[in-house]
């Protein structure tokens, strides 16, 4: 439904190119994992391990840049839905739209109704063309001189964990923090805060 979620990024002779895969070309992005047979402590570890694995599986060139996993915890226990979206294709506001579409889809299916999402809005192509047109506009060209005249050579490097040895700042030295939110917090983070 959202073109950008099917984006692929490939290096070319003129730099990186964005391509939008057709819906039938996009790799499956939903995984179902039954961890109901695990002890409670091991379930959380299994969810975090799978989340890290799926996050690492996002592939800029071949996709997908979105992964969804539904964790089955057992009878009379809630399911957990994990949605992983690469920052290149969604920010907080866009993520809220996707979460709203998932909730709408869920409610329609739960009621036995056909899935009807809102009409698509501006396509990725239209947005990119509008940004390009603005970059070529007289208005933007007037502002460009002011931006280029700023003292960029006086800007220092971005802060890092290892300023004395910048080679140590790499993915292998990162840390993952996982937090589970209750339904009230989830509602607030996904719907209220982005607005």
Mean pLDDT of the chain, nearest integer: 86
Amino acid 193: pLDDT: 66
Question: What is the phi/psi pair of residue 15, to 5°?
Answer: 110, -170
Residue 140: pLDDT above 90?
Answer: yes
Section 130-152 average pLDDT: 92
* pLDDT of 86 higher than 80: yes
Write down how long the chain is: 195
Question: What tokens appear for 97 in the block?
Answer: 């739209």
- Residues 6 or more apart whose Cβ sits within 8 Å of residue 24: none
Q: Give the range among 48-52, 71-75, 92-96, 130-134 with minimum mean pLDDT.
A: 92-96
Q: Please report the pLDDT score of residue 131 as a whole number.
A: 93
State how far the Cα of 155 lies from the Cα of 176, in Å rounded to an integer: 30
83 touches 68 (CB < 8 A): yes
Could you tell me where the beta strands, DSSP code E, fall in 13-164? 15-20, 30-34, 66-72, 80-85
Please give the DSSP secondary-structure letter assigned to residue 80. E
- C-alpha to C-alpha distance for 171 and 174, rounded to whole angstroms: 5
Question: What is the spatial distance between Cα 133 and Cα 127, in angstroms, rounded to a whole number?
Answer: 10
Closest by CA position to 181, among listed 192, 172, 165: 192
- What is the rounded distance in angstroms from the CA atom of residue 84 to the CA atom of residue 173? 21
Q: What is the DSSP letter of 186?
A: H
Select from 129, 103, 109 the least CA-distant residue to 183.
Answer: 103
Residue with tokens 């226990």: 77
pLDDT of residue 114: 95
Tell me the residue ranges of DSSP E strands in the chain. 7-12, 15-20, 30-34, 66-72, 80-85
Q: Kindly indicate the confidence band of residue 155, based on its pLDDT and cuts at 50, 70 and 90.
A: confident
**Of residues 32, 37, 110, the one with CA closest to residue 73:** 37
């Amino acid at each position: 439904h959202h073109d950008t979620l099917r984006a692929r990024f490939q290096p070319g002779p003129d730099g990186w190119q964005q391509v939008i895969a057709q819906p039938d070309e996009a790799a499956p992005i939903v995984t179902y994992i039954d961890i109901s047979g695990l002890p409670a402590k091991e379930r959380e570890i299994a969810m975090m391990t799978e989340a890290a694995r799926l996050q690492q599986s996002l592939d800029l060139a071949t996709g997908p840049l979105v992964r969804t996993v539904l964790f089955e915890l057992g009878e009379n226990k809630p399911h957990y839905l994990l949605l992983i979206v690469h920052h290149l294709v969604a920010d907080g506001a866009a993520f809220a739209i996707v979460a709203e579409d998932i909730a709408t889809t869920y409610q329609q299916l739960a009621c036995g109704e056909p899935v009807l999402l809102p009409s698509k809005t501006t396509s990725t192509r239209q947005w990119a063309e509008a940004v390009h047109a603005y970059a070529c506009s007289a208005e933007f060209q007037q502002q460009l001189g002011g931006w280029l005249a700023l003292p960029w050579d006086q800007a220092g490097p971005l802060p890092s964990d290892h300023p004395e040895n910048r080679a140590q700042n790499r993915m292998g030295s990162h840390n993952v923090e996982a937090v589970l939110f209750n339904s009230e917090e989830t509602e607030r983070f996904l719907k209220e805060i982005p607005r």
